Amino acid sequence: MKLSIAIADTHALPSAFVVFRGFNECIPKAARLGFNGVELALKRADEINIQQLQTLLDENQLEVSCISTGQVYADEGLMFTDADAGKREQVKVIFRELIDLAENFGQLVNIGRVRGQIGNRSKDEAEKLFIAVAQELCDYAHPKGVTLILEPVNRYEIDFINSVEEGVELMKKVNRPNMKLMPDLFHMNIEDRTIGPELAKHIHFIKYIHFADSNRLAPGQGHLDFQKILNELFKANYDGWVSIEILPKPDADTAAQQSAEFLLPLVKEYNEKREEVNVLIK
């Protein structure tokens, strides 16, 4: 298991949901705090200067965990389920460029609120539009080794795919090997019957997890039982990224530090236990 933290660039809108802002300043900060990677919250692939990013990552021995796309929706209202075919085409162009970038950085592209709303249509109609766009993008991403990860998001932010269970049902309909889920503990705490057991039950569909506490502060600052959740993930053999996506409160540096101090020892213990099991198996 590796630990990452969500980052956007300095010009990102306030609606960009990240802990840190500014790649140049915050990638070294993430490394100093002990994170293994950074999740890049982008609106467009051309926000990234590939050479500069690679140098920053190399200097700080960090990886990109994933490219997240909340701003594609938040900034321009673009979505997979738009009734307008031209708008759906626009989303596809943006996503193809993000997939190209992810080929060398993280190999994961998230689909959060950009999946879109159901609105006043039937769920079937929204689903059909989503599935067609998702299948086309998955087929584009597959030869590049990139996986798309759909994030169930709570009902107060979106009306389509709120629970992990709903996400799993949709995954089955998309039916592509590189279409997986990205549960977020904050949303799960609102929408799902359980957290740890639900993650374990659907582990084959889960490729990445957003970590936040119940109040969307740093893990340890609310009432989620992280040890219990990690025990379930351990039993289910999860070996992917967990990424910190929380409110930058009381301020970004403190929130990042609280997250690292609370989770790094738990992740270390998790990985040591996994190594012990691997030795026993061999």
β-pair partners for 184: 210
Binding partner of residue 221 among Mn ion, ligand LER, none, CB under 5 to 8 Å per kind? none
Should residue 184 be labelled a site residue for ligand LER when binding is judged by CB under 6 A? yes
Which of 184, 192, 198, 213 lies at the binding interface for Mn ion (CB under 5 A)?
Answer: 184
Using CB under 6 A, which of 157, 165, 166, 253 touches ligand LER? 157
Identify the sign of the CA torsion 31, 32, 33, 34: positive
Instruction: Indicate the residue among 19 and 263 with the shorter CB distance to ligand LER.
Output: 19
Asked if 83 and 91 touch (Cβ cutoff 8 Å), the reply is no
Q: How many residues lie near ligand LER (CB under 6 A)? A: 10
Stretch that binds ligand LER, among 135-143, 151-159, 233-241, 250-258 (CB under 6 A): 151-159
Name the DSSP class of 112. Answer: S
For ligand LER, the closer of residues 112 and 219 by Cβ is 112
198 sits near Mn ion (criterion: CB under 5 A): no
Site for Mn ion in 217-246 (CB under 5 A): 245
| Count of residues in contact with Mn ion, rule CB under 5 A | 3
CA distance 282 to 277: 9
Alpha carbon distance 124, 131 (integer Å)? 10
Query: Which of 129, 134, 137 is CA-nearest to residue 93?
Result: 137
Q: How far is the CB of 66 from ligand LER (least distance, A)?
A: 10
Q: Where are the alpha helices (DSSP H) in 77-117?
A: 85-104
Strand duo 241-244 + 2-8: pairing: parallel
Interactions with ligand LER, residue window 53-72 (CB under 6 A)? 68, 70
Look at phi and psi of residue 251 and say left if phi exceeds 0, alpha if psi is from -120 to 50, else beta: beta
Coil vs helix vs strand at 83: coil
Shortest CB 72 distance to ligand LER, Å: 12
Q: Which residues contact ligand LER by CB under 6 A?
A: 17, 68, 70, 112, 151, 153, 157, 184, 210, 245
Residues that bind Mn ion (CB under 5 A): 184, 210, 245
